[in-house]
Amino acid sequence: MTPRQPRPPSARPIDTRAFDLLSLTMALVLGLHAPHLPWWLAIALALILGWRWWQRRQRIGRVPRWLKLPLLAMLTLAVIVQYGNIFGRAPGAALAVGLLILKLLETEVARDVRVGISFACFALMVALLFDQGLVATVVVALGLLPALATLRALEPGQLPAPSLPRALLPSLALTAAALPLALLAFLLVPRLSSPLWGAPAQDQARTGLGDSMTPGNFTDLLTDDHPAMRVSFDGAPPAPDQRYFRAYVMWHFDGRSWHRPDPRYAPSRPPAPLEVASSVQYRISLQPTRRRVLPMLDVPLQAPAQATQQADREVMADKPVNDPLDYIGRSALRYRLQPDLDERSRRLGLSLPADFNPRTHALAAQWRQRHGSDDAAIVQAALALFHNGGFRYTLAPAPLGRDSVDDFLFDTHEGFCEHYSSAFTVLMRAAGIPARVVTGYQGGYWNKFGNYLLVRYSDAHAWSEVWLAGRGWVRVDPTGAVRPERVSLGAAAAAGDQLAWYRNDWLQGLRNRWDIVNRWWDQGVIGFDALRQRGLLTPFGIRDADTATLGVLLAISGVLFIGIGLAWALLRRQPRDPLRGALRELERKLARKGIARRPAEGPQHYLSRAARALPGQREELASLMRSYLELRYAHDEPPTEPLRAFQHAVRDFRIVDVVK
């Protein structure tokens, strides 16, 4: 018979530890992608992964094709149904993660493991197309640890680590050793002028404020803790009650929602006249919003570069803000806005839909009759109603019906800034006072360590502006009449017990200090573009480092790193040979009894001579000799279990008698 050819190393079955590490790697990839996968797909893939891990522990072997092929078809169909195709960042990532999990169903040999690890590393990189933040980057780096540990577990002759942390330690050392080279590549590899494959630089753009407002639709925004923008001032920051950042000015009310005029149909008008008593200059770092509006401290004097100022002092960028944007602003803190109201603005500021909110109109008529032409007194009457009328600030208000303002003012008495600003503005218009709704941000946390104001999405706010003779448009915040803490202490303080965890002083302090790290990461890592790279060598007298200069530096640094690595490899101690160590232990035991190994004497001759010298232990020594020779010469690397058995046999060997 023809002797059976041994399997190549890549076709040999893998042990349980290698499969467990591979499963852990895929679980980390799935967990990293889960936030942007459909919830049902993430759960289904997690169940498949868990079932496969359990199934292989019960019986080694690949999953049959009759099960794999339907799962593959269902995955492809699910991605197409969810996204409409399989092309693009989101559908491509979903398909890639699904295929990675299904690859586990046929993984039984080393070749399958290497393919799976390569694909898993690619999927880890894909996660950075969705989020390039510091935490996401660290998680991606940690995802490499089980991947490297899996590859190391495939190396012949590796003894299984006693615990998972011990198995990950060598991978952690390899990752740490690669950090200097990664930093070098980050600094010197020439940057592309546009992102690879046309993908956006990051996917952290959030919708934020919209150009319409319906009482109740701020709820998700008010619980979003992500930074919206960071503001640094030339000098001391304004007081909390002056930290109003204007975004949208809304005139049109349909009985339920407020809208700003459609710029396609509204006539183009210059910014409203503004008389300034004092102003402040500042710099805003705005996070991506996919919208054109640029929030500015109320009221902006002029628009930044590549932006225009609208008639109501809104500021609109020339294109949507899809990437982080820095701009400089200057705004008035004490001012008179549009002291003379034109007829068109007056008509818009008094417009209300017919046959809505009759009780609100009746209340406004009573105020007008009581206070006559004193508009300021009517404003104070409305604020007194909110302050003394049993109103409650809550992020979970009761639903409102068709006459939403009537329901709010006379029935539910609960809501947040949208409800109060909407109801107040309707009351003013019903009383004959021009009024409008303004949305934006209010408050923020002054980070004294970073010397900037941190404004989060949860600081989104809505207030009103009323036009008073001789004073122009005056900001009135009815929410402050109900909950003064909203203006003085911020949104979290206004929410009261509803966000008790959020108001925890220790947690808030930690979050706000952590933002300094995030800001550094955004500016120093994510914001490190081609322009900043060209100025990298300015401290060394090179004002514009072109591609050739960067290439030369990269080549020199690469050669230096290779030289250091080669020297370390040549000078470091060779890896321990456990089989050779066991033989040396046996030699030491025999040498203590006068049976020393001679120079150039082979192990077979030496152990044979020792067996003749110890006739009472001839069979034991002969067995040790056969085991050693088989482990050393019959395999590329000694198998784990026979090697352990040989080590235990040497450890238990005791010399009984010596015959000379």
Is the separation of the CB atoms in 620 and 635 below 8 Å? no
- Tokens (6 digits) for 513: 């200090």
Neighbour-count burial for 39-55, b at 16+ CB within 10 Å, e otherwise: eebbebbeebbeebbee
- Two tokens, residue 465: 């502006």
Told to judge if 121 belongs to the known catalytic residues of this protein, a careful annotator would answer no
**β-pair partners for 335:** 276
446: β partners:
453
Can you give the three-state secondary structure of 433-499, one letter per residue? CCEEEEEEEECCEEECCCCEEEEEHHHEEEEEEEEECCCEEEEECHHHHHCCHHHHCCHHHHCHHHH
- Give the number of other CB atoms < 10 A from CB of residue 627: 19
Calculate the CA 429 to chain-centre distance. Answer: 44
- Judging by DSSP bridges, how do beta strands 414-415 and 392-393 pair with one another? parallel
As a whole number of angstroms, the distance between CA 405 and CA 412 comes to 10
Amino acid identity, position 578: P
Question: What's the token pair of residue 102?
Answer: 């299904």
| Planar angle of CA 410, 421, 297, nearest 5 degrees | 165
What CA–CA distance (Å, rounded) separates 581 from 226? Answer: 57
CA nearest neighbour of 419 among 470, 383, 462, 466: 462
Distances (CA, A) of 83 to 89, 95, 471, 587: 10, 11, 54, 69
In the block, tokens 């979903």 appear at 94
| Cβ burial, residue 462 (10 Å; 0-12/13-18/19+) | buried
Alpha carbon distance 88, 596 (integer Å)? 71
Q: Which residue has the tokens 């004497």?
A: 601
Residue type, 196: L
Residue ranges of alpha helices (H) inside 129-279 are 134-153, 164-188, 219-222
* CB contact at 8 A, 631 and 646: yes
> Is 417 an annotated catalytic residue?
yes
Residue at token pair 């370390």: 568
Q: What angle do CA 186, 191, 195 make, to 5 degrees?
A: 110
Catalytic residue among 112, 406, 477, 515: 477
**Which one is catalytic: 211, 419, 461, 515?**
461
Question: Quick check: is 20 catalytic?
Answer: no
- Tokens 């590899």 belong to residue: 189
Residue of 417, 419, 515, 522 with catalytic role: 417
Q: Which residues are catalytic?
A: 417, 461, 477
